[in-house]
Amino acid sequence: MRENMLSVRKNKEAARKAATEKVARIMVSTAVLMVTAFAVTVFAADGGDAITTAKNLLSKAATAGGGLWAVWGLVTLGMSIKDSNGPGIGNAIWQILGGAIIIAAGVAIGALDLTMATA
């Protein structure tokens, strides 16, 4: 009976590890694709617009990264609630809040006015 319970637990842990690794690979691939797509815009900009374009790229990247971080926190929260894992729930909530802060930073960067005053 005990061996059966240990076998079931190991199978669950292996399945969770495989799912986590798959989601991590998808997130990294998405991040690489996003950076590649935004980099084309930066290198195609004129000299005067390069700073504004770089600022917009940084803003979009921070917003997207914060969104991915928050979504991963939601996934972790769901798994922790399912397993009744108290510390995991707390860590997931902090991760979601961290993602929200990163999103807010990205929005704040996008709102910066970088025009130089010509007097």
On whether the pTM is more than 0.75, the answer is: no
How confident is the model over 33-87, as pLDDT tens digits?
A: 777 766 655 555 455 577 788 888 899 999 999 999 999 999 999 999 999 988 9
Q: Where are the alpha helices (DSSP H) in 1-119?
A: 2-43, 50-83, 86-111
Residue 76: CB atoms within 10 A of its CB come to 19
**Range with the poorest average pLDDT among 1-5, 13-17, 19-23, 65-69:** 1-5
Q: How confident is the model at residue 119 (pLDDT cuts 50, 70, 90)?
A: very low
Could you give the CA distance from residue 7 to residue 13 in angstroms, rounded to a whole number? 10
Task: Quote the Cα angle for 42-102-79, to 5°.
Answer: 120
